[in-house]
Structure 1
Amino acid sequence: MARVHVASWRTTYRGLMPDAVLDDPGSTARREGFWDAALTDERYAANRIAVAEHAGEVVGIAMSGPAVDASPGTVQLYVLYLLDGHHGSGAGSALLDAVVGLGQDAVLWVADPNPRAQAFYRKHGFAFDGVEQVDGGVRERRMVRTVGRPARSTTASW
């Protein structure tokens, strides 16, 4: 899981973050610690975690949990990464469905620019709500999916 997380992170954020940060040799060990905690620590008990496999190898990861700064019952997608070569395979959709219920209100943060990810989330009913932040030097835009009510979008994305 850590290997997929780091490899995907490096390809996703190359050009958006300094190479020195992306190529830090300690990244995999830190992500191993993160996933160990996510899978065993009581703090993450309410989270959902899923992996996608191909030919016995993990090729994708996802994690959701209770949303921070959102209405009760809203789930937040914290992680969804696929290795290059598996985009468009259906694995991303399966991971999203595994960690975010189809009938649940949901929120996520997506890097900007990241047109492939943004299009993927729009396809799954998410829309920009106009909130932005900078995290780790990366500009992020919040996307929401509100079940039963149209999501407010501040951009024309078609």
Structure 2
Amino acid sequence: MTDMPGPHPQLPRHETPEERADRNLIELLQELRVVLTGVQIVFAFLLGVAFTSRFPYLDHFQHSTYVVTLLLTVIASAILAAPVALHRGLFHRGVKPRIVALSARLAQIGLVFLALALNGAVLLLMAIVLGRVPAVVITALTLLLFAGLWLVLPWALRQE
């Protein structure tokens, strides 16, 4: 197996702090563009659910799951879009490194809310299709999947 192309992670790039901030912001905004598309899809799905003929017949647990999941999606959307607003609001103010640092933190927090929203959608759908107990089990497994891929894997790679 060959090494991935590009600079070795231990070797410094030859860029100024301003160039680094520019590159980091561009990369972060690209990542957020992809993630926000997913948030929009989940939000659209949840909006559609409320207008189905079966929605009035959901039990209290399912209605509560729906409301919490919808709100988690709204929160994820707001947090994940905040870096764009920061950049626009502070454009040409000479604070790009601060924008990048805060935006990176907001992206991390937004991903947590997105993971919770996605798992809420799984819980809701599985509760309707399979019942509450299988829904909770399946959602616990999907939560573990997210935790493994989004938290444990990056942490383990940083430890190498």
Q: Same fold (TM over 0.5)?
A: no
Query: Which has more helix, going by share of residues?
Result: 2
Point out the structure with max Rg over C-alpha.
2
Q: TM-score range by the shorter chain?
A: under 0.3
Give the TM-score normalised by structure 2.
0.25
- TM-score w.r.t. the length of structure 1 is 0.25
Higher relative contact order (Cα pairs below 8 Å, separated by 6+ residues): 2
